[in-house]
């Protein structure tokens, strides 16, 4: 049987040479190429027509200047990005991230992951991602608005309902989407609701979009648990982060009877052995825009500025903060403490070493491209509502989200088994996501 190690090493070496200094992008591609070796053993035609090289090269990369003026009259210059990675299945779709760590490599890793994630949803959306190295922390409301307006002044010419549909991500929530949409509407002189998702409910937004990623992580984990005779009821759960994804993962896990024993932000983590008072956490993070230590002054919980949230002993771990927040040592600690399920709410929160530990130990590990697909899936449902000028009820939309997450679980689980890697959801997600995009690319010719 052919061995595709050399083939994949060749692609990877070339990618390293042509995309120097982009470690997150290399990491995301390496994981997928590893799974593709397994596909090629069975289906060698996926190696034809430069398919794999084309898949790893964005269709278009846009980098632009974003000048804006502070409240005190100083001019600041940030850098904006939009990477339109692959549109074989539909318009580019993926969020915008505003965070000081943003650079081209981070946007490329996120855009690359987005291709497979969007494919897994079963909906007609391609993969893209964008953002800026702008830091919203400590900025006034007016500064945020001016920045969003300047960002959209350039971005607007590259997006559209049938071309590219951005949404939120880290640092871009409902407030920012509002300012971005307002500026788009002004520049285009059209109320093109389908151009952005995550909109407000009175102007084209969808119920459940805010909750979707967090709920989706819990729905898919619940499926995996049912598959193995377990349930959230009575389980101990760690959720890292305290932003959009974490908040609604905490809510849904607690609704299903779990106790969430810890959450975090970039200042530290909070241990909550008797569960999280979600109302208070939301008040602190969403209204006061404060730090997690404030939580412990008003509710039961211990704040830690050192050590790691992954030192806690739990049945389920849901990393929902940021990339590479969980390394090999953390993973080993979780495994030693008896973790059985890990599902990634964030994009690529586990390092390659951590994933290796989970796979070797038999932990049920669901990678982000499957586990956090509920957000983009509900964005696609928002696009459907915009196209038909309709708005669906919360329960109906939530039910559709749940079905999508159940289908994703079935798809990645069946695919892993079909390729003789039963229970390996990394392989299952990469292969199932890849095949649909690859078939479309092959059908559409060398472009
Ligand atoms: P938010 O900005 O709402 O929240 C991010 C959270 O992570 C904040 O609590 C932030 O803390 C925390 N955080 C960031 N860096 C660190 C760190 N180094 N250590 C600990 N905590 C940290 O973003 P989202 O919740 O929207 O996104 C979280 C993750 O989920 C990202 O990886 C994103 O790409 C992914 N994702 C999001 C989707 C969505 O629909 N929003 C969809 C799919 C994936 P602080 O406030 O201190 O910065």
Residues 226 and 357 both lie in one domain: yes
We report the CATH number of the domain holding residue 215 as 3.40.50.720
Residues 266 and 317 both lie in one domain: yes
Residues 152 and 63 both lie in one domain: yes
Residues 217 and 183 both lie in one domain: no
213 labeled binding residue: yes
Does some domain include residue 52?
no
Question: Looking at residue 1, what is its pLDDT?
Answer: 56
What domain count does the chain have?
2
The CA 321 to ligand 1 mean position distance, Å, reads 4
The CA 384 to ligand 1 mean position distance, Å, reads 26
Active-site residue identified among 37, 42, 108, 129: 129
Residues 232 and 180 both lie in one domain: no
Residues 303 and 240 both lie in one domain: yes
Name the nearest CA neighbour of 277 among 292, 306, 249, 299: 299
Does some domain include residue 399?
no
Residue 190 burial class via C-beta count within 10 angstroms: exposed 0-12, middle 13-18, buried 19 and up: exposed
Q: Indicate the top mutation candidate among 346, 373, 382, 408 to test ligand 1's pocket, ranked by most ligand atoms within 8 A of CB.
A: 346
Query: Pairing state of beta strands 126-132 and 341-343?
Result: unpaired
**Cβ(58) – ligand 1 distance below 6 Å:** no
Residues 322 and 355 both lie in one domain: yes
Are 258 and 235 in contact by the 8 Å Cβ rule? The answer is: yes
Last residue of a domain, one of 331, 362, 393: 362
pLDDT along the chain (447 residues), means of 10: 85 97 98 96 96 98 98 98 98 98 98 98 97 97 98 98 97 97 98 97 97 98 97 98 97 98 97 98 94 97 97 98 98 98 98 97 98 97 96 98 98 98 98 98 97
Residues 182 and 217 both lie in one domain: no
Last residue of a domain, one of 362, 384, 406: 362
Does some domain include residue 286?
yes
Does some domain include residue 6?
no
- Calpha distance 325→308 (Å, rounded): 10
We report the CATH number of the domain holding residue 84 as 3.40.50.10860
The CA 310 to ligand 1 mean position distance, Å, reads 17
Question: Looking at residue 3, what is its pLDDT?
Answer: 77
**Cβ(131) – ligand 1 distance below 6 Å:** no
Residues 147 and 224 both lie in one domain: no
Residue 115, domain extent: 57-188
Last residue of a domain, one of 328, 362, 396: 362
Residues 110 and 233 both lie in one domain: no
Residues 159 and 218 both lie in one domain: no
Does some domain include residue 109?
yes
What confidence tens digit (pLDDT) does each residue in 274-309 have?
999 999 999 999 999 999 999 999 999 999 999 999
Question: Looking at residue 183, what is its pLDDT?
Answer: 98
Does some domain include residue 33?
no
**Cβ(66) – ligand 1 distance below 6 Å:** no
Active site residue 333: no
436 labeled binding residue: no
């Amino acid at each position: 049987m052919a061995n595709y190690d050399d083939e994949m090493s060749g692609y990877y070496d070339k990618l390293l040479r042509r995309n120097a200094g982009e470690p997150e992008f290399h990491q995301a591609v390496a994981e997928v190429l590893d799974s593709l070796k397994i596909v090629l053993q069975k289906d060698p035609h996926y190696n034809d027509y430069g398919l794999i090289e084309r898949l790893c090269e964005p269709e278009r990369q846009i980098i632009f200047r974003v000048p804006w003026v502070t409240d005190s009259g100083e001019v600041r210059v940030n850098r904006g990005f939009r990477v339109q990675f692959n549109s074989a299945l539909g318009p580019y779709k993926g969020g915008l991230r505003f965070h000081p760590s943003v650079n081209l490599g981070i946007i490329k890793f996120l855009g690359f992951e987005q291709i497979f994630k969007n494919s897994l949803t079963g909906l007609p959306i391609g993969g893209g991602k964008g953002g800026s190295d702008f830091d919203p922390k400590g900025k006034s409301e007016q500064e945020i608005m001016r920045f969003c307006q300047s960002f959209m002044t350039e971005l607007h010419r590259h997006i559209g309902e049938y071309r590219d549909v951005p949404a939120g991500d880290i640092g871009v929530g409902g407030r920012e989407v509002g300012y971005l949409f307002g500026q788009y509407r002004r520049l285009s002189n059209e109320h093109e609701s389908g151009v952005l998702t995550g909109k407000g409910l009175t102007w084209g937004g969808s119920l459940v979009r805010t909750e979707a990623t967090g709920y989706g992580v819990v729905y898919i984990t619940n499926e995996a648990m049912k598959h193995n005779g377990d349930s959230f009821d009575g389980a101990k759960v760690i959720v890292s982060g305290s932003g959009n994804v974490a908040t609604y993962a905490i809510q849904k896990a607690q609704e299903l009877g779990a106790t969430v024993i810890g959450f975090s932000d970039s200042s530290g983590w909070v241990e909550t052995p008797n569960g999280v008072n979600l109302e208070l956490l939301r008040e602190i993070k969403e209204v006061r825009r404060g730090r997690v230590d404030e939580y412990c002054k008003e509710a039961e919980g211990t704040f830690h500025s050192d050590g790691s949230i992954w030192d806690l002993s739990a049945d389920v771990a849901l990393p929902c903060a940021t990339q590479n927040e969980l390394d090999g040592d953390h993973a080993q600690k979780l495994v030693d403490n008896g973790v059985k399920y890990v599902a990634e709410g964030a994009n690529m929160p586990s390092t390659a070493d951590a994933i290796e530990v989970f796979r070797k130990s038999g932990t049920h590990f669901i990678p982000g491209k499957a586990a956090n697909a509920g957000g983009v899936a509900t964005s696609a449902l928002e696009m459907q509502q915009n196209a038909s000028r309709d708005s669906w009820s919360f329960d109906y939309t939530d039910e559709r989200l749940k079905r999508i997450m159940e289908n994703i679980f079935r798809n990645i689980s069946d695919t892993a088994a079909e390729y003789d890697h039963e229970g390996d959801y990394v392989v299952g997600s990469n292969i199932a996501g890849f095949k649909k995009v690859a078939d479309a690319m092959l059908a559409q010719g060398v472009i």
